[in-house]
Structure 1
Amino acid sequence: MNILFLTLVKINTLDERGIYTDLLRKFRDEGYEVFVLCPSERRDKKQTHLLKEVGVHILNVRTLNMQKTNIIEKGVGTLAIEYQYLNAIKKFCSNIKFDLIMYSTPPITFSKVINYIKRRDNAYSYLLLKDIFPQNAVDMKMLKGGGVLHKFFLNKERRLYEISDTVGCMSEANKEYILTHNPTIVAGKVEVNPNSITPIEQVRTLEEKLVIRKKYGLPLNTKVFVYGGNLGKPQGIDFLLETISSTKNPNIFFLVVGSGTEYDRVYKWFQSKQPKNAILLAGLPKQDYDLLLKACDVGMIFLHKDFTIPNFPSRLLSYLEMKMPVIAATDSNTDIGDVLERNQCGYKVLSGDIVNMHKVIDEICSNEEMYEIMCKNAMDLLHKEYTVDHSYSLIKNKIKNV
């Protein structure tokens, strides 16, 4: 069987680790032929080109810059990409019959591509919902609610849900939100299919931990709380910085590592404040980042307090894989903190509630026995809920039952 996967994530090889590559690798290993369409951005200065591996075909489609660019180019690029992908399919995959077409959000503008493949090949369409747009842009005041652009993208969103045979949501709160705000969707086509990876057993020896800490300038005898990932407006970075500046416990150290639209502001804050209890590192390659996580003790997730949509950041999986308790400082709508507390491997904090933030930080640091239990529970949660075997089975059963 042939699978077509559409994404905005740059994929060079399925040997890379990630929520999409791990899932696609599982399909390949189960005997499926995998075709991936991903962008080759204007800054790459490359034309559309095809890369081949055993059982995998990666079509890099020339697009405008989609990531880390100005909002105008990103907006035009988002609208243009479905035509660019459609033309690439007609040129490079005209003789390929696809049995399944999978795609993730963002963007929400793949409808023409999906509809073309569904009609041409009678393919099953599966949406991996990773982002609820345009409401997230309205929450962040990047779009005016009820405005012309908002209404335009709402129509695109509704069309995407309409042509998808199944909508796989990241969590129960995600599923409930989609069904509540889209009453025309048949409930039976929406299911929970969360972010997932192929876990690798991580051995974290004290010796290795000390070597890594020395390499990156981390203190050797303190609990290191790490925030890794995107540094942008959706993360509510102000609360991260407030947490760092207001924490006076000398046995606690913060590591911030990432990139994004707010990185320069965070960098200037570090330069100005010169905090003794924290360092900032620019984004690292996945392999280096995973190695760095081995030297950390507690993972941190931050989301802007104004979100009305239930985000579920994928960085959670890296923390769980490293057997770390997690603190989720979020809005009141996401259920990621509820999942952590229900499985006794972390805490939820309302973004901006600095009193409760200090309370849960102290709880983690004051009871070593409880900390070790939470570490074990973190890995248990990963294996129970967030493996590609689970995601693969959900999707495979959909194809089998058609």
Structure 2
Amino acid sequence: MTFLNVLFITLLNMENVDERGIYTDLVRELASRGINMHVVFPRERRTKLPTELTSIRNIKLLKVRTGNITKTSFIEKGLSTLTIDKQYLKAVKKYLKDVRFDLVIYSTPPITFVKVVNYLKKKHESKTYLLLKDIFPQNAVDIDLIKNRGFIWRYFRKKEKKLYQLSDKIGCMSKGNVNYILQHNSFIDKRNVEVFPNSIEPVEIRVNVNKEIYKKYHISEESTLFVYGGNLGKPQGINFILKVIENFHKVDSGHLLIVGSGTEYKKIEKHIHNAKPKNVSLHKNLPKKEYDKLLENADVGLIFLDKRFTIPNFPSRLTSYLEYSLPILAATDKNTDLKDILSEAESGLWSESEDIESFIDNAKLLSTNKELRTQLGLNGRKYLEAHYNIKETVNIIIKHL
């Protein structure tokens, strides 16, 4: 396959392609098959660095100077996201003009890669593959970020439809996502939509657990450690998380550790400062290696989603928890099929967001029943290896080359 060229377009920072994650693992796995990988990603203005093309092994990294997308205001992020399509297209034309791409892969968010995808499809007759990780603008409507059928909705809905039309194949995270997309977009040929789940290259199963890290975070070694890691924004249903914080003292031996960042981080920080719960702590995002070490020593992985969602969200942090054989405790809306996966895999417990009594009851059960935690964790690891191993799932994409 050494003659094949694949372009991967993303909003995520891919500077360190050897770092572990669903996208870096995908890129490395495709490259390991002899495919010439090209990755286009943002180099934000705050870095003060120019657009640049570098390479590592058979992976070329096109770092495009853009506006600030992360750790900035909502307005700047929005403007930067809207202009990134043109910036990517200009960079691709300049730095990759002599490469003919057999396949172009791109992920949502955002849905604004229309120009660059359309250009490559027409110029190179490239096949196009959308990794659908986010159904926008409907997810924003669900949590009242934008008005249903208002001007902003119509603008982005038009972009969304165009992106679907440009995509030869749409890879969804779950069956629930496939069903939703087909139900709400009758113009899409169902033969072009398939499940391509969030997948990783799993680390070896942990053998020796070292709880020295507990001291660093001021957690008793006798505690059952519940960890939430990831975004702390409106999609997570922050008001419910605040209720969890208020009620977590009812969980015998339990300690709740929240790690992440996002628009609602300050709100959580202020609540913890005022309430001063003894068994709850909050930390900013950690480096990947540090976070992995934390998960390696944790007891339960937490997932939160706002109860108002009508779309079947499927959080990527699930794979991280399964990788480290952590039982899952989830509180989500009713529409996600995450709860069905947990049931099928026998890897965790679920309750609907806002049902604080059910959530705390589940937390109590997991906190005091080590045998149950162990069994759920082992079940989850087996399910990960069978369904979310990138070495297997990558074939779903390769078959289209």
TM-score of the aligned structures, taking structure 2 as reference length: 0.97
Q: In the aligned structure 2, how far is the partner of 1:305 from the partner of 1:286?
A: 29
Q: In the aligned structure 2, how far is the partner of 1:166 from the partner of 1:249?
A: 46
In the alignment, is residue 242 of structure 1 matched against residue 236 of structure 2? no
Contact 1:23/1:391 (CA < 8 Å) preserved in 2? no
Residue 107 of structure 2 aligns to which amino acid in structure 1? S
Structure 1 residue 273: Cα displacement = 1.1
Structure 1 residue 55: Cα displacement = 0.3
After superposition, where does 1:39-78 map in structure 2 within 5 Å? 39-78=42-81
Q: Which residue of 1 aligns with 2:224?
A: 223
Return the match for 1:197 from 197, 200, 221. 200
SS at match of 2:319: helix
In the TM superposition, structure 1's runs of 4+ consecutive aligned residues that sit over 6 Å from their partners are none
Residue 278 of structure 2 aligns to which amino acid in structure 1? K
Structure 2: state its 5+ residue gaps.
none
After superposition, where does 1:312-327 map in structure 2 within 5 Å? 312-327=314-329
SS at match of 2:245: helix
Q: Which residue of 1 aligns with 2:312?
A: 310
Q: Which residue of 1 aligns with 2:374?
A: 372
Return the match for 1:117 from 115, 120, 136. 120
Contact 1:250/1:277 (CA < 8 Å) preserved in 2? no
Residue 103 of structure 1 aligns to which amino acid in structure 2? Y
Structure 1: state its 5+ residue gaps.
none
TM-score of the aligned structures, taking structure 1 as reference length: 0.96
Structure 1 residue 204: Cα displacement = 4.4
Return the match for 1:333 from 335, 347, 362. 335
Q: Deviations over 1:195-215 (max 9, x none)?
A: 110001132424x1x211112
Q: Which residue of 2 aligns with 1:280?
A: 282
Q: Deviations over 1:65-123 (max 9, x none)?
A: 11232222222222211110000011001101111100000111111111111111111
Number of residues paired by the alignment? 397
SS at match of 1:246: helix
SS at match of 1:398: coil
Contact 1:327/1:337 (CA < 8 Å) preserved in 2? no
Return the match for 2:302 from 300, 303, 313. 300
Return the match for 1:25 from 14, 23, 28. 28
Q: In the aligned structure 1, how far is the partner of 2:240 from the partner of 2:141?
A: 20
Q: Which residue of 2 aligns with 1:270?
A: 272
Q: In the aligned structure 2, how far is the partner of 1:13 from the partner of 1:319?
A: 22
Residue 311 of structure 1 aligns to which amino acid in structure 2? N
Residue 147 of structure 1 aligns to which amino acid in structure 2? G
Structure 1 residue 63: Cα displacement = 1.0
Q: In the aligned structure 2, how far is the partner of 1:165 from the partner of 1:336?
A: 26
Let me know the Cα RMSD of the aligned residues: 1.1
Q: In the aligned structure 2, how far is the partner of 1:250 from the partner of 1:356?
A: 15
Structure 1 residue 278: Cα displacement = 1.0
Q: Deviations over 1:296-317 (max 9, x none)?
A: 1000000111111111110111
Residue 21 of structure 1 aligns to which amino acid in structure 2? T
Q: Deviations over 1:212-266 (max 9, x none)?
A: 1112211110211111111111111221221122132331111111111111111
After superposition, where does 1:77-92 map in structure 2 within 5 Å? 77-92=80-95
